[in-house]
């Protein structure tokens, strides 16, 4: 994973009439370009975890996720790069009934499988107990010893990795914006901020637990806030407005956003700008955390409902 420390992703300026009108500068940090299948932030969250696993002389990694999880693919790819076996506990026992068919249908699991990940599919009920001692012991009996990475990859080592997203040059920005899932990425951003900067997080899911989760890692900091009005109904929920927004934004800026995280964030930023939340001259840097690999699965969902598809090229 050493290569990840050396990666300097580019900041791309967004040119849109609304930004000109309100005199706001918006750049997007293209962490999505780190790898075609691996969300930038997921690699960063894995970096120090894989170092730790090596230190502990573990030969395998085990983690958890849903059928379209960016974190599952990232763990499979990073594990392979670093010589670990990888095991994925996947939510949804119906997916395990016919693995061949599941892999044909699901690009996320197909890519993870191609990179050597072995799956164990569990019911939604069992998935809720996935971190219990009993369940982990059962998996150790099945697969042998492994290093456990939590769902979504967030722990204090993941936060350390996300402190490396911002560079010296980024200190020119007033606000750093990020999508929020489990809160690990934003915690790293918060801890690496310069004094004059603030972070705004855009939760991709409903609920009030996130602030507490973020505070666990950032006790001393109060240089951040969450904008909770842009989750579009909850995790992986969407409406036509969001899909149209993704397609229009791609046309206007060439930047493809993912429907689960980054599209909701950029939609939120532009909406706040429209509502004059920022003063003239404000410079905003939004982190494109990736998630592009999940679009294939998302489009399958849309196709089945005869709805508009996210156009990728």
Ligand X SMILES: *Cc1c(COP(=O)(O)O)cnc(C)c1O
Residues that bind ligand X (CB under 6 A): 39, 41-42, 70, 152, 154, 179-186, 258, 261-262, 289-291
**Least spacing, CB of residue 188 vs ligand X, in Å:** 8
Query: In the complex with ligand X, which residue's Cβ is closer, 66 or 291?
Result: 291
What tokens does 174 get? 């007033």
Contact 214, 223 (CB under 8 A): no
Kindly state the smallest distance separating residue 32's Cβ from ligand X, in Å.
Answer: 7
Q: Are strands 25-29 and 283-287 parallel, antiparallel or unpaired?
A: parallel
- Between residues 22 and 50, which has the closer beta carbon with respect to ligand X? 50
Comparison of 172 and 228: residue with beta carbon closer to ligand X: 228
Nearer to ligand X, 22 or 79 (CB): 79
- Rounded to the nearest whole angstrom, what is the least distance from the CB of residue 15 to ligand X in the complex? 23
Give me the phi and psi of 29, to 5 degrees please. -80, 115
At 60, give phi and psi (nearest 5°).
-140, 155
Nearest approach, Cβ of residue 181 and ligand X (Å):
3
CA gap 39, 65 in Å, rounded: 14
Q: Cβ closer to ligand X: 151 or 170?
A: 151
CB neighbour class for 70 (10 Å; exposed up to 12, middle 13-18, buried from 19): buried
The residue (of 22 and 268) whose beta carbon lies closer to ligand X is 268
Rounded to a whole number of angstroms, the minimum distance from the CB of residue 299 to ligand X is 16
| Residue (93 or 253) nearer to ligand X, CB | 253
Phi/psi-derived region of residue 290, left when phi > 0, alpha when psi is between -120 and 50, beta in every other case: left
- Chain centroid to Cα 271, Å, comes to 22
The CA distance from 115 to 97, in Å, is 21
For ligand X, give the closer residue by CB, 184 or 297.
184
Q: How far apart are CA 232 and CA 257, in angstroms?
A: 15
> Which tokens belong to 40?
């930038």
With CA atoms as reference, report the closest residue to 127 among 159, 95, 79, 80: 95
Q: How far is the CB of 306 from ligand X (least distance, A)?
A: 26
CB 97, min distance to ligand X, A? 27
Cα(202)–Cα(225) distance, integer angstroms? 9
The minimum distance between CB 312 and ligand X, in angstroms, equals: 15
**What are the phi and psi torsion angles at 118 (to 5°)?**
-100, 140
């Amino acid at each position: 994973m050493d290569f990840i420390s050396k990666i300097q992703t580019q900041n791309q300026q967004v040119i849109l009439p609304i930004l000109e009108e309100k005199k706001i500068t918006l750049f997007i940090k293209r962490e999505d370009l780190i790898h075609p299948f691996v969300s930038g932030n997921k690699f960063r969250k894995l970096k120090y975890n894989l170092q730790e696993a090596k230190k502990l002389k573990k030969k395998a990694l085990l983690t958890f996720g849903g059928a379209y999880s960016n974190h599952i693919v990232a763990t499979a790819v990073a594990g392979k790069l670093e010589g670990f076996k990888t095991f994925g506990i996947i939510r949804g026992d119906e997916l395990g009934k016919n693995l061949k068919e599941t892999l044909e249908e699901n690009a996320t699991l197909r890519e993870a499988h191609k990179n050597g990940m072995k799956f164990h599919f569990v019911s939604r009920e069992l998935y809720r107990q996935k971190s219990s001692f009993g369940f982990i012991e059962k998996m150790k009996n099945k697969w042998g010893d492994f290093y456990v990475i939590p769902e979504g990859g967030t722990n204090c080592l993941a936060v350390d990795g996300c402190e490396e997203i911002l560079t010296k040059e980024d200190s020119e920005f007033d606000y750093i914006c990020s999508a929020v899932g489990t809160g690990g990425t934003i915690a790293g951003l918060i801890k690496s901020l310069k004094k004059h900067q603030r972070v705004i997080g855009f939760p991709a899911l409903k609920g009030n637990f996130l602030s507490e989760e973020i505070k666990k890692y950032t006790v001393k900091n109060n240089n951040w806030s969450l904008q909770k009005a842009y989750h579009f109904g909850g995790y992986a929920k969407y409406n036509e407005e969001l899909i149209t927004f993704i397609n229009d934004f791609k046309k206007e800026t060439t930047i493809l956003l993912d429907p689960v995280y980054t599209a909701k964030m950029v939609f939120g930023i532009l909406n706040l700008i429209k509502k004059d939340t920022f003063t003239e001259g404000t410079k905003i840097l939004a982190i494109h955390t990736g998630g592009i690999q999940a679009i294939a699965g998302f489009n399958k969902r849309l196709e089945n409902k005869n709805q508009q598809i996210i156009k990728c090229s």
